[in-house]
Amino acid sequence: MYLLPASWTWDSWFVDDGEQFHAFYLKASRALGDPERRHRHASVGHAISTDLRSWTEVADAFVPSDGPAFDDLAIWTGSVVRGPDGLWRFFYTACSREQPQRQRISVATSTDLTVWTADPDRKPIEADGACYEKLGDSAWSDEAWRDPWVFEDPAGDGWHMLITARARHGELRQRGVIGHATSDDLDNWEVRPPLSGAGAGFGQLEVSQVAVVDGRGVLLFSCLGPELSDERRASEPGGGIFTVPVDNLTGPFDISRATRLTDATLYAGRLVQDRSGAWQLLAFQNLGADGQFVGGLIDPLPVSWIGDRLSLKPGTPGAAPR
């Protein structure tokens, strides 16, 4: 496990530059005492590896901007892609001191995955109130518009962004949807209707990702117990990491087909292909044997299909029962 003595680490995303794997992850000082305080003190750490197991910490990648700004409180989960121009782009979730419960999405760029620059005058991507729940529309605690997962259209027709978002209708813990935005050039984005419907049993679908694993499409996301519907709580207590088989990486997604990949001891999973071509799950250790928060990145766990369900090897710590 990648466990830092001075910092908690949690949500992560990964990049393979052809020579090294780069892990980017949320981090906050353990001196905060209460791990629940970490969210409003989050910045982005950076580590490198050749095997997805042994990581070397390097200089932090990104911190909140000087205020006042839409990203002057905390930086949350995102993804990194390389555009046709060779420039790396880090799409990130931004939180502000002025409105800490409101989430927006912006981008920073880099030529080397090490030094990142954000345009202070750039307008962030915001939730469209015609399609998505906004702050104050319900009793939900925040305006969910985060965790951008950016990928190129499989047919080469531009770019897609998957977003943790909520619908404007439905029972409070059933409004979670996969938000959607598209772009032709990675610079100009159009917010579109969600790629999934409400009512599947999730208050939010966090840290989503799509991938083609062994020739089959899959959607990955996470949700903890307090944000599950009563029915989901009964069948999948505590929540965890979920997967959905998909026919098309660009949706639509039938979230009612979601099954648990792991229990809540692991969270914010990512599927990463290792040097052999095998697919691995990476995630953060959420809970230890004592039920307390851990805050470290796990070693990779191999995944495979069993029927229509993406699964971990039986007996793997954290694997959800079939």
Q: Where are the domains of the chain?
A: 7-312
Residue 321 pLDDT greater than 80, yes or no: no
Instruction: Give the CA distances from residue 319 to residues 259, 288, 311, in Å, rounded to whole numbers and listed in that order.
Output: 12, 14, 8
Mean pLDDT of the chain: 96
The pLDDT value recorded for residue 39 is 97
Averaged pLDDT for residues 199-223: 98
Sheet holding 74-82, edge to edge: 74-82, 88-95, 103-110
Q: What would the pLDDT profile of 80-127 be if each residue is shown by its tens digit? A: 999 999 999 999 999 999 999 999 999 999 999 999 999 888 999 999
Residue 313 — very low, low, confident or very high, per pLDDT cuts 50/70/90? confident
Please tell me the CATH superfamily of domain 7-312, with its number: Glycosyl hydrolase domain; family 43 (2.115.10.20)
Q: Is the pLDDT of residue 276 over 90?
A: yes
**Percentage of the chain modeled with pLDDT above 70:** 100
Mean pLDDT, residues 231-249 taken together: 97
In the three-class reduction of DSSP (H, G, I as helix; E, B as strand; rest coil), residue 130 is classed as: coil
Percent of the chain with pLDDT over 90: 95
Q: What is the pLDDT of residue 133?
A: 98
DSSP assignment letter at 116: -
The residue whose two tokens read 């305080």 is 37
- CB atoms < 10 A from the CB of 146, how many? 25
Contact between 183 and 172 under an 8 Å Cβ cutoff? The reply is no
- pLDDT above 90 (res 69): yes
Does the pLDDT at position 314 exceed 90?
no
- What pLDDT was estimated at residue 186? 97
| pTM for this entry | 0.96
Which pLDDT score is estimated for 196? 98
How many CA atoms lie less than 13 Å away from 183 in the CB half-sphere? Answer: 16
Concatenated DSSP letters of 156-188? SS-EEEEEEEE-SSS-GGG-EEEEEEEESSSSS
**For range 180-200, the mean pLDDT:** 97
Say which residues have a Cβ less than 8 Å from residue 194's Cβ, sequence separation at least 6. 131, 132, 165, 167, 177, 178, 179, 180
**Banded model confidence at residue 44, pLDDT cuts 50, 70, 90:** very high
